């Protein structure tokens, strides 16, 4: 998801988005922190709590799923607060108005927005608290605050020194300053430094608590049978055998299926397998992949929504010396985070304690209130670390299921999906078709471009009010080429294929960048030009694109000789306000594409933490290579055919290429880095394979057969 242009604040949830199970959300969130503060703790604002023992706690309002928010966000607060970042305790924030992501309009982690949304907000929060602590010290000593200095968790004045812990209570009673002056970047102590992550120690010792690790007193375990065709319902259940199995406590029917609750998860799972359920397979009964792509192709005949209309495309095509045409095809993808969906819920008559791995706390709160009938004030939601998310945990179906089971049985319960449940009941990255046509003049320069994308819309399912006049802003990311082409027409057709879809890392960038950056390569070939020079010649009005493209070409040795059997490909994009180019080197071994080397040039504006930025780029290359070589969810008889990692392969260490990263030094505001690299890898690879073999790969995952 990229930035939503001018999100009417809270449109998102106040407009009663309909979500899984027909639940209606739109609750008011609690105003601030509701956790009972220890008597010795003082709350400086929604982000900072300081104990009389000097322990500083910073709240992280985004979900940590590997991308490093648990490091990046406290860094911004600590920089201005003047505390030792490595002595800070980080807690995940509960649902609350203060924690809404202004770029997305909800308390949600996604769209590589965490740092961009928090960039000013968190530094200001840190500075406000620092000023209040300084004022408290000044008042205590009867001196001017202007003469006092905050440093390393204390305020000092001449020979005097007072720790934040000793000042916090008095400071918390002061009015926060409205105007704060943020630090001069030259004085940054943490921002811009390749700092080590705060969460590594727990993650190498098995101590970090993920959702699946949560344990409550008296907790039972659940396994849920869902209809093999998503959207179907149980019509009859024979649970006689299951009920007699060891450890089984309950068999309950909930909206999404039939749950077995037992003393241990393994017992619950064994008994679930012994259920005999009759399903009404629902509206997607009989659906298969051929029908999906026939539907997407059929939808191309609709006019769709206009995204760009510029010049006279028809006229320019008529007079073109050469025409280039291509259709690109993308499959459904599964998120497959390594921690399968799970959630722990303890729903009581007058309260609920809900703990686990989620990306969308606000949606969860709305669903919990709707299911339990409790008020948000009675509901506590605690987010743990996430064992991967990639967008899957924006949807809260598994959360709602756990809440429903706990409510029904009146006991705390941990619901854990199997890998097979996870893969067959995902919200899949939309499949798509993109039809492109270009007209070139006699010199090979493009004069006209037309593009039409046909794809299901995640937004139409999850946040329908955001789709206006048929335009889904999250389906059109990077759909406009950066190249200077006089006549252009770009349109999209939303087509529901019958399989539910969700936001997956890089969202529609992946669809659109693959089509656009493959097609510009096809245009260069038709023009008889070098693909790098051809792009460069069309980017005069796009300096940031041009710079990363040049940097990638230079560092990647574009045009330089390669060993026999290898070739290079290039591609460039903008996403999440980050500009990136990649040069890749491929070969073909036994009919299989091998990616040897990826050179990545990035301009993401100012960098908070180069260490995490590099992690994210590495991560995106591996994620993108999985999609390029393997990712393919197919349907037969309404069922997703892939069930586990034997038939839905994820990239392994032996297939990982050499990754080299280069950065454009920039003082622009920070761009997002969690997602763009993934979208860009596939066209760069397809272009390299074309250069090597002459075969143009227009369909993912890639196959040379």
Partner 1 sequence: MASLDINGKALEVNADPNTPLLWVIRDTLGMTGTKFGCGAGLCGACTVHLDGKPIRSCSTPLSAAAGKKITTIEAIGASDVGKKVQAAWASLDVPQCGYCQSGQIMAATALLTEKPKPTDADIDSAMAGNICRCGTYPRIRAAIHKAAKGA
Q: Binding of partner 1 at residue 32 (CB under 8 A)?
A: no
Q: Binding of partner 1 at residue 336 (CB under 8 A)?
A: yes
Q: Binding of partner 1 at residue 293 (CB under 8 A)?
A: no
- Complex with partner 1: residue 342 or 459, whichever CB lies closer: 342
State the nearest-atom distance from the C-beta of 252 to partner 1, in Å.
Answer: 20
Among 237, 287, 381, 416, indicate the residue that binds partner 1 (CB under 8 A). 416
Strands 592-603 and 658-663: parallel
Among 2, 518, 619, 687, indicate the residue that binds partner 1 (CB under 8 A). 619
Among 43, 56, 68, 701, indicate the residue that binds partner 1 (CB under 8 A). 68
Among 1, 19, 66, 413, indicate the residue that binds partner 1 (CB under 8 A). 66
State the nearest-atom distance from the C-beta of 198 to partner 1, in Å.
Answer: 10
Name the maximum alpha-carbon separation found in the chain: 82
State the nearest-atom distance from the C-beta of 433 to partner 1, in Å.
Answer: 27
* Secondary structure percentages of the chain, helix, strand, coil, to 5: 35, 25, 40
State the nearest-atom distance from the C-beta of 501 to partner 1, in Å.
Answer: 20
Phi, psi dihedral angles at 363 (to 5 degrees): -60, -45
Q: Binding of partner 1 at residue 656 (CB under 8 A)?
A: yes
For 190, the token pair is: 């943490």
- Complex with partner 1: residue 82 or 426, whichever CB lies closer: 426
Residue entry with tokens 């995902």: 426
Distance spanning both ends of the chain, measured CA to CA: 34
Q: Binding of partner 1 at residue 340 (CB under 8 A)?
A: yes
CA distance 242 to 251: 8
Q: Binding of partner 1 at residue 603 (CB under 8 A)?
A: no
The answer to whether 405 and 254 have CB atoms below 8 angstroms apart is yes
Q: Binding of partner 1 at residue 641 (CB under 8 A)?
A: no
Q: Binding of partner 1 at residue 567 (CB under 8 A)?
A: no
CA distance 3 to 68: 20
Strand ranges, E, within 397-445: 413-416, 432-440
State the nearest-atom distance from the C-beta of 364 to partner 1, in Å.
Answer: 19
- Select the span of 3-11, 42-50, 145-153, 380-388 touching partner 1 (CB under 8 A): 380-388
Local structure of residue 421 (DSSP, 8 states): H
Q: Binding of partner 1 at residue 590 (CB under 8 A)?
A: no
Q: Binding of partner 1 at residue 97 (CB under 8 A)?
A: no
- Complex with partner 1: residue 316 or 678, whichever CB lies closer: 678
The answer to whether 85 and 130 have CB atoms below 8 angstroms apart is no
- Complex with partner 1: residue 382 or 445, whichever CB lies closer: 382
Angle formed by the axes of helices 361-372 and 397-409, nearest 10°: 30
- Select the span of 49-57, 418-426, 456-464, 541-549 touching partner 1 (CB under 8 A): 418-426
Tell me which residues in 260-279 interact with partner 1 (CB under 8 A). 264-267
CA distance 475 to 119: 26
State the nearest-atom distance from the C-beta of 204 to partner 1, in Å.
Answer: 5
Phi, psi dihedral angles at 659 (to 5 degrees): -120, 125
Tell me which residues in 192-211 interact with partner 1 (CB under 8 A). 196-197, 199-210
CA distance 297 to 2: 27
Helix residue spans in 324-410 (DSSP H): 361-372, 397-409
3-state secondary structure of 311: coil
- Select the span of 89-97, 417-425, 463-471, 586-594 touching partner 1 (CB under 8 A): 417-425
Residue entry with tokens 């409510």: 407
Among 112, 418, 506, 518, indicate the residue that binds partner 1 (CB under 8 A). 418
Tell me which residues in 381-400 interact with partner 1 (CB under 8 A). 385-390
- Select the span of 137-145, 172-180, 330-338, 370-378 touching partner 1 (CB under 8 A): 330-338
- Select the span of 176-184, 336-344, 426-434, 479-487 touching partner 1 (CB under 8 A): 336-344
State the nearest-atom distance from the C-beta of 246 to partner 1, in Å.
Answer: 7
- Complex with partner 1: residue 406 or 614, whichever CB lies closer: 614
State the nearest-atom distance from the C-beta of 88 to partner 1, in Å.
Answer: 18
State the nearest-atom distance from the C-beta of 644 to partner 1, in Å.
Answer: 5
State the nearest-atom distance from the C-beta of 615 to partner 1, in Å.
Answer: 6
Q: Binding of partner 1 at residue 615 (CB under 8 A)?
A: yes
- Select the span of 65-73, 174-182, 222-230, 344-352 touching partner 1 (CB under 8 A): 65-73
State the nearest-atom distance from the C-beta of 668 to partner 1, in Å.
Answer: 26
- Burial code (b: 16+ CB inside 10 Å, e: under 16) for 657-681 equals bebebebbebeeebbbbbbbbbbbb
The answer to whether 437 and 57 have CB atoms below 8 angstroms apart is no
CA distance 621 to 352: 41
CA distance 284 to 230: 7
Q: Binding of partner 1 at residue 246 (CB under 8 A)?
A: yes
- Burial code (b: 16+ CB inside 10 Å, e: under 16) for 336-366 equals bbebbbbbbbbbeeeebbbbbbbbbbbbbbb
Q: Count interface residues toward partner 1 (CB under 8 A).
A: 61
Among 47, 99, 398, 623, indicate the residue that binds partner 1 (CB under 8 A). 623
Which of 491, 430, 514, 505 shows the shortest CA–CA distance to 1?
505
Residues in contact with 8: Cβ distance below 8 Å, sequence separation at least 6, in sequence order? 105
Residue entry with tokens 């949807």: 395
Q: Binding of partner 1 at residue 221 (CB under 8 A)?
A: yes
CA distance 340 to 468: 34
State the nearest-atom distance from the C-beta of 504 to partner 1, in Å.
Answer: 12
- Complex with partner 1: residue 122 or 416, whichever CB lies closer: 416
CA distance 328 to 282: 31
Is the bond preceding residue 701 a cis peptide, omega within 30 degrees?
yes
Q: Which residues bind partner 1 (CB under 8 A)?
A: 64-68, 196-197, 199-210, 212-213, 215, 221, 246, 264-267, 336-340, 385-390, 416, 418-420, 611, 615, 618-623, 644-646, 650-654, 656, 659
């Amino acid at each position: 998801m990229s930035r939503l242009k001018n999100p009417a604040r809270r449109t998102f949830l106040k407009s009663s988005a309909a979500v899984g199970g027909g639940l209606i959300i739109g609750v008011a969130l609690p105003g601030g922190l509701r956790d009972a503060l220890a008597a010795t703790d003082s709350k400086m604002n929604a982000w900072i709590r300081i104990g009389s023992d000097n322990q500083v706690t910073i709240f992280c309002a985004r979900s940590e799923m590997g991308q490093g928010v648990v490091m990046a966000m406290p860094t911004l607060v600590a920089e201005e607060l003047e505390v030792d970042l490595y002595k800070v305790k980080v807690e995940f924030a509960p649902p609350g108005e203060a924690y809404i992501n202004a770029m997305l309009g909800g308390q949600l982690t996604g769209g590589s927005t965490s740092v961009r949304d928090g960039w000013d907000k968190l530094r200001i929060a840190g500075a406000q608290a620092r000023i209040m602590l300084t004022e408290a010290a000044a008042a205590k000593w009867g001196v001017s605050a202007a003469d006092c200095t905050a440093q390393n968790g204390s305020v000092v004045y001449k020979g005097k020194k007072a720790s934040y812990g000793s000042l916090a209570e008095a400071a918390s009673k002061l009015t926060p300053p409205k105007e704060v002056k943020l630090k001069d970047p030259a004085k940054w102590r943490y921002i811009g430094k390749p700092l080590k992550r705060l969460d590594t120690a727990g993650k190498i010792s098995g101590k970090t608590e993920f959702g699946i690790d949560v344990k409550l007193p008296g907790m039972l375990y659940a396994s849920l049978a869902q209809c093999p065709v998503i959207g179907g319902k149980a019509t009859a259940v024979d649970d006689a055998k299951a009920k007699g199995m060891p450890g089984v406590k309950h068999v309950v029917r909930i909206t999404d299926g039939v749950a077995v609750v037992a003393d241990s998860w393994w017992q619950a799972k064994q008994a679930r397998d012994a259920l005999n359920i009759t399903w009404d397979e629902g509206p997607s009964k009989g659906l298969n992949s051929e029908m999906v792509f026939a539907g997407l192709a059929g939808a191309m005949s609709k006019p769709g929504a206009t995204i760009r209309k510029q010049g006279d495309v028809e006229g320019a095509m008529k007079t073109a010396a050469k025409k280039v045409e291509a259709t690109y095809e993308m499959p459904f993808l599964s998120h497959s985070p390594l921690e399968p969906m799970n959630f722990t819920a303890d729903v009581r008559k007058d309260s609920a304690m809900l703990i686990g791995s989620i990306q969308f706390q606000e949606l969860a709160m709305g669903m919990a209130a709707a299911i339990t009938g409790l008020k948000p004030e009675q509901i506590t939601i605690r987010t743990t670390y996430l064992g991967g998310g990639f967008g899957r945990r924006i949807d809260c179906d598994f959360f709602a299921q756990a809440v429903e089971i706990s409510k029904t049985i009146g006991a705390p319960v941990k619901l854990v999906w199997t890998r097979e449940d996870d893969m067959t009941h995902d919200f899949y990255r939309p499949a798509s078709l993109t039809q492109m046509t270009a007209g070139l003049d006699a010199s090979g320069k493009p004069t006209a471009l037309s593009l039409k994308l046909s794809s299901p819309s995640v937004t139409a399912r999850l946040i329908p009010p955001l789709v206006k006049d048929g335009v889904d802003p999250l389906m059109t990311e990077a759909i406009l080429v950066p190249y200077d082409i006089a006549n252009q027409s770009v349109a999209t057709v939303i087509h529901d294929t019958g399989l539910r879809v969700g936001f997956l890392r890089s969202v529609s960038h992946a669809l659109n960048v693959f089509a656009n950056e493959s097609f510009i390569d096809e245009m260069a070939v038709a023009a008889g030009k070098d693909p790098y020079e051809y792009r460069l010649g069309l980017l005069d009005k796009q300096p940031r694109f041009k710079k990363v493209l040049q940097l990638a070409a230079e560092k990647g040795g574009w045009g330089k000789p390669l060993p026999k059997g290898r070739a290079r490909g290039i591609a460039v994009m903008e996403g999440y306000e980050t500009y990136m180019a990649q040069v890749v080197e491929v070969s073909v071994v036994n009919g299989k594409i091998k990616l040897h080397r990826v050179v990545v040039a990035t301009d993401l504006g100012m960098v908070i933490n180069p260490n995490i930025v590099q992690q994210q780029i590495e991560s995106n290359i591996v994620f993108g290579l999985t999609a390029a070589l393997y990712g393919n969810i197919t349907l037969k008889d309404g069922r997703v055919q892939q069930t586990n990692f034997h038939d839905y392969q994820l990239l392994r260490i032996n297939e990982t290429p050499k990754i080299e990263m280069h950065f454009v030094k920039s003082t622009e505001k920070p761009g997002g880095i969690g997602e763009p690299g993934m979208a860009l890898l596939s066209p760069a690879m397809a272009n390299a394979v074309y250069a090597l073999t002459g075969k143009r790969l227009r369909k993912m995952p890639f196959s040379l057969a």
